[in-house]
Structures are given as C-alpha cells and as structure tokens.
Amino acid sequence: MKEINVGILGLGTVGTGIAKILINNGPLIASRLGAKLVLKKAADLYIDKDRGIYFDKDVLTTDPFEVVNDPKIDIILEMIGGQTIAKDLILKAIENGKHIVTANKALLSSQGGMLFKAAAEKGVTIAFEPSVGGCMPIIKTIRESLAGNNIQSISGILNGTCNYILSKITSEGVSFEDALAGAQTAGFAEADPTLDIEGYDTAHKLAILSSIAFGMEINLKDIYVEGITSISAMDIEFARQSGYRIKLLAITKFSENAVDARVHPTMIPLSNPLSHVDGSLNAVIISGDAVGDMMLYGHGAGMMPTASAAISDVIDIARSLINNSASFVPMQSFQVAQIRDIPFRSIDDISSCYYIRFSAKDQPGVLSKISGILGNHQISIKSVHQTEQKLNGAVPIMMLTHVAKEVEVKQALAKISSLDAITSKPVVIRIEG
C-alpha cells in the first residue's frame, strides 16, 4: 500500500491530537484513503514529555527545520501558531515543495496573501480547515458545498472562551470577572485571555472566512472589533428577560460591492439558532442565494476536534498525491485572477437595532432629555425599561431602538454622555435578527 509521509511542527494540544489520530486511526484512514499516512517526524522543544502516545524511533526531534527539510515528507502540519517561527517554517516547507496544513489564523489573517502566492508559485497547497471553527467543516462547506451560491452573509460564534463566559453569566448570573476566572480554571481560557475576550481571535477567523466567501484579498485591519469586557450581568439579564441572548458574533455581509465585517457583542432573539449555542461550543450560519440559511455547530476548539479538521485536510492532499494530481479546489475558493480588493463598509455606515443602557442620576427630566436627543437623530425608541435597582448609585435606563444609523447613534450618545445627569458612558449592543 502506498505511503504518504507526514511531519508535525509543534506537539502542543492540537499537534498531539493529530499524532493520536494518525497512530490510533491509521488502519481506518487507510481503508478510506487507499494509502497509509505515516507520521515521519514531529518537532517540539519538549520531546521527553509524556503525551500518552507511542512514537516510533527517530520520529521526535527538537529541530523543526529537520522536519521541513526532510525529503521524504510530503505534507507538513504547522501547529506552532503565532507569528514568530511559524512563517519561516511554512515558507521553507513551500520552497521544499511540501504541502502545508495549518491552524494558524493569526498568521493567515495577517500574511495569508503572501503565503498563498508563494504556495501557488511552487504548485503546492496551503490547507487551513483547522484554523476556523475547530471540527466544523466551515472552509470546505464554503469552498465546495456552496460553490454554486452567491454567499450573502456569515454570522457565527467562533470563540469558545467568550461563549463560555457569556453563557456562564447568562445561566448563573455571575460577574464577568468570576466567569473569566471559571473559564481559566476549566481550561477554556488562557492565562492572558486578551486575544479571546477583546475579540481579536474571532476577527482573525472572520478575515479568513470573508476572503473565501466573497473572493476578496484577506483584510484583517479593516474589520471592526469590539470585545465582551464591557458587558455586565445586568445587560445579559435584561436580554434574557426580553427573550434575547448576548453572544460575541462574527458577522460578515456582502452587498453593493462592499463588505460589512465586524466582531461585537450582539443581542439575538431565541428564534435565532445561535442563541441556543452555549458553553464553549461554536456555530456558524452561512446564508447563500440558493441554500438560504444553513448552520454548522460543534466543538470550535480542543485537542481532538481541531486535530480531526487537520487530518481531513491531510487526507484531501493525500488523495491528490495518490492520483498524481494537483489539488482541485483553489486555496482561496476563487481562481487567483478573480480575487479582488473589496472595500469594507465603515461601521459608521451600518444600520441596526440597538440596545442602549444609560446610567443616570435619579432626578426628574432625564428620560425626556435622552429621548429628545435620540429623536433629533432619527432614533426611534421601541421600549424603555427603568428599574428601581441602582448600579453604582446611578439609575440604569435600558432601551431597545428600531433600526437606526450607527453614525446617528454615535452622535446622539456623545451628546447624551455630556449631560450632567448621565454618570457614565452608555453601553451599546447591536441587535441582529
């Protein structure tokens, strides 16, 4: 039986999961593929660590360049992550004619264009299913299953840490700080959770999805990003009582030759299936002109789910190698000549319904002033909720608006914030259907 040799860079969580699948499910994979995937080399700084798997002699090395320079290896799995050595290793592997599978969303979202170009010139493939959504086949679904569709929008929960925190606050009413500490204890959040809770990790994934959905150059820097740190248990409880959930959503929409891509906390009604996605789970809804809305739902991170996605990429590449063919599917979904620079729409130019929470002094006339300013900016109020319960000595006033322009909301809130009766910056959460 033909053998395809594979090398792994980085035996962290996902790298170890990949090794486990290659070793434990080897015969199963061969029965589907018709060839054997052989783990030829795996590089990690700590090769003596017990990972609960038996590696053949000579597989482990501390030198990643030994892996990318091994002439017997056909496919390299880059599982180091980040933007330090990973790029150099990928470029070296490409130079050596090897195919790449990577989960490195930070690198792809910032330098993917250059990497895809280098791979195309050398006639090799960079596959990246494990970079977005863990086990969910988002990349394959967009590039292959929806290839006959004009994709109109994608919205999803793409960060398990944020979803775990928001779910915990929703179900148990704990504070943001306590929920984050719980996520760290449970292993769902890093010691430094900035990349997750500030929304950057989600934005990396959204940049990749926008590119392959709409046929645009990868553009990370123009994505609007807001994290979840300003959301309080009070906002979440109000949402819950009003039949909504608050989720950190990645949203990208194409219309009138521009893309509206953003990451922010979002209020969604219970009729939106994303509202039922709790804990560290991820889900994504893709809307196309033929399929309507379809959803993928599963483990967006973790050792084995992400490793499963990486292995599916390896098997795809191996199928082409067995057939002495190039990969059939363009890396960025569209033919290279068709990929365009599509402009992003400024967040100021969107329209949305909004949830706004004001903190006001308990004095007469405040609501009249607020609603007057909103009215002057064509912001129509759908409902107002004011409780006796005070927060830091101020009265919270919660409002839901009808569709309004973001720029008007911004201007109105600047004016309202400068009122004497307003004690702190209003909290604003966009609402999606």
Least distance from a copy of itself to the Cβ atom of residue 265, Å: 22
Minimal distance in Å, beta carbon 100 to a copy of itself?
17
Please tell me the distance from the alpha carbon of residue 134 to that of residue 160, in angstroms, as a whole number: 10
Measured from the CB atom, is 243 or 375 closer to a copy of itself? 243
Q: Choose between 215 and 265: whose C-beta lies nearer to a copy of itself.
A: 215
In angstroms, the CA 257 to CA 276 distance is 32
Q: Least separation, in Å, of the C-beta of 14 and a copy of itself?
A: 11
As measured in angstroms, the least distance from the Cβ of 135 to a copy of itself is 4
Which is closer to a copy of itself, CB of 335 or CB of 389?
335
Q: Give the catalytic positions in this structure.
A: 205
Cβ proximity to a copy of itself, 195 vs 329, nearer residue: 329
Rounded to whole angstroms, what are the CA distances from 233 to 165, 179, 237? 11, 10, 6
Coil vs helix vs strand at 352: strand
Nearest residue (CB) to a copy of itself, 326 versus 403: 326
- HSE, CB side, 13 Å, CA atoms: give it for residue 294: 15
Where are the strands (E) in 276-369, listed by range? 281-288, 292-299, 351-360
DSSP tag of 216: B
The residue among 33 and 356 lying less far from a copy of itself, judged by its C-beta, is 33
Q: Cα-flanking dihedrals φ and ψ of residue 260, to 5°? A: -105, 100
Q: Do the Cβ atoms of 242 and 253 come closer than 8 Å?
A: no
Q: How far is the CB of 216 from a copy of itself (least distance, A)?
A: 12
**Residues 391 and 424: beta-carbon distance below 8 Å:** no
Q: Give the number of other Cβ atoms within 10 Å of residue 175's Cβ.
A: 12
In the complex, the residues that contact a copy of itself under the rule CB under 8 A are 17, 21, 25, 28-29, 31-34, 129, 135-137, 140-141, 143-150, 215, 273, 276, 288-299, 304-305, 307-309, 311-312, 314-316, 319-320, 322-323, 325-326, 328-330, 333-335, 338
Buried b (16+ CB within 10 A) or exposed e, 80-92: bbeeeebbebbbb
DSSP 143: I
Specify which residues 265 forms β-bridges with.
Answer: 248
CB of 362 to a copy of itself, least distance (A): 41
Closest CA to 245 of 268, 222, 261: 268
141 DSSP 8-state letter: I
